[in-house]
């Protein structure tokens, strides 16, 4: 999926829709750790451009040498909360390289300058101090990045909004988007019906489910939803 189409389709979705799409597609849901939020810019979407930080900016510069238009620099700083690893210079460089944003498993700084630059930046928060230590660079520093419990590569797409950040395999993106769009449309119809006076309980025939469960205690709500065509979760 080309960067423009990716952004266009994500504009009408949320990360919540995408995670639901992953579940429906029987894919592992891979979210960045809770607390990962947009410091600048509300949304980001693009191919993962990984970089493992080891205390020096050179790894970011090298990663950006191979950037394609619309890539998102995904920085692995081990989730450290005692130092920041990305500031204004990296953000400017990333923007000039055509990157669509930056996602950090760690902290950022220079928040005021980042707002002026305008490139979307997602992180665990901010801290004034930059890198405190210099370590040996990992052999795979430009091949993959770890974000929480997940390892991501250029074979992955990354999406961020007000709820956080989620990673989706690029090869599965079309299917995930199709399912996410279907879920979105279903939820919108259900919300409109609620506003019009028909409760969600009525829509999903919840009283009927409770009666059926009395007869069959093993019956799950999801099974009932599939049977009545009112699936809102999977």
Which pLDDT belongs to residue 49?
Answer: 98
Output Rg (C-alpha) for the chain, integer angstroms: 21
Q: Is the pLDDT of residue 232 over 90?
A: no
CB 113 within 8 A of CB 88: yes
Residues 6+ apart with CB under 8 A from 46: 3, 6, 7, 70, 71, 72, 99, 100, 101, 157, 158
Residues 6+ apart with CB under 8 A from 85: 53, 75, 77, 104, 106, 107, 108, 130, 131
Q: Is the pLDDT of residue 209 over 70?
A: yes
Confidence of residue 231 (pLDDT cuts 50, 70, 90): low
pLDDT tens digits, one per residue of 136-158: 999 999 999 999 999 999 999 99
Domain boundaries, the chain: 3-175, 199-228
Please state the pTM of the whole predicted model: 0.92
pLDDT tens digits, one per residue of 166-177: 999 999 999 999
**Greatest Cα-to-Cα distance within the chain, rounded to the nearest angstrom:** 65
- Which residues line the annotated binding site? 87-90, 109-110
- Which residues line the annotated binding site for Mg(2+)? 110
Confidence of residue 234 (pLDDT cuts 50, 70, 90): very low
From residue 108, how far is each of 27, 68, 132, 139, 154 by CA, in Å?
Answer: 31, 23, 13, 24, 22
Q: What would the two tokens of residue 59 be? A: 């790894």
Q: What is the mean pLDDT of residues 70-89?
A: 98
How many whole angstroms separate alpha carbon 181 and alpha carbon 17?
Answer: 7
Report the Cα 6 to chain-centroid distance in Å.
Answer: 13
CB neighbour class for 82 (10 Å; exposed up to 12, middle 13-18, buried from 19): exposed
> Could you tell me where the DSSP H helices lie in 73-199?
88-96, 111-117, 173-195
Give the helix/strand (H/E) hosting 102.
strand 101-105
- Which residues line the annotated binding site for substrate? 87-90, 109
Confidence of residue 97 (pLDDT cuts 50, 70, 90): very high
Identify the CATH assignment for 3-175 out of 3.50.30.40, 3.40.50.720, 3.40.50.2300, 3.30.56.10: 3.50.30.40
Confidence of residue 230 (pLDDT cuts 50, 70, 90): low
Of the candidates 42, 171, 174, 151, which has an alpha carbon nearest to the alpha carbon of residue 105?
A: 151
Q: What is the mean pLDDT of residues 73-91?
A: 98
Share the mean pLDDT of the chain. 95
pLDDT tens digits, one per residue of 19-50: 999 999 999 999 999 999 999 888 999 999 99
CA torsion through residues 215, 221, 222, 228, sign: positive
């Amino acid at each position: 999926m080309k960067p423009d189409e990716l952004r266009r389709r994500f504009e009408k979705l949320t990360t919540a829709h995408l995670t639901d799409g992953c579940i429906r597609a029987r894919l592992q849901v891979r979210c960045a750790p809770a607390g990962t939020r947009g410091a600048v810019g509300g949304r980001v979407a693009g191919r993962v451009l990984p970089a493992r930080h080891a205390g020096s900016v050179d790894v970011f510069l090298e990663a950006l040498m191979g950037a394609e238009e619309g890539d998102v620099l995904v920085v692995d700083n081990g989730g450290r909360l005692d130092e920041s690893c990305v500031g204004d210079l990296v953000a400017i460089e990333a923007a000039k390289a055509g990157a669509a944003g930056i996602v950090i498993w760690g902290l950022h700084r220079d928040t005021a300058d980042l707002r002026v630059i305008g490139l979307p930046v997602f992180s665990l928060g901010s801290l004034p101090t930059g890198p405190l230590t210099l370590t040996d660079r990992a052999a795979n520093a430009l091949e993959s990045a770890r974000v929480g419990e997940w390892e991501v590569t250029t074979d992955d797409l990354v999406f961020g909004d007000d709820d956080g950040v989620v990673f989706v395999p690029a090869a599965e993106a079309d299917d995930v988007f199709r399912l996410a769009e279907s879920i979105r449309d279903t939820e919108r119809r259900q919300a409109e019906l609620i506003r019009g006076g028909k409760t969600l309980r009525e829509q999903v025939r919840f009283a009927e489910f409770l009666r059926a469960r009395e007869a069959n205690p093993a019956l799950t709500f999801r099974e009932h939803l599939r049977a009545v065509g009112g699936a809102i979760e999977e």
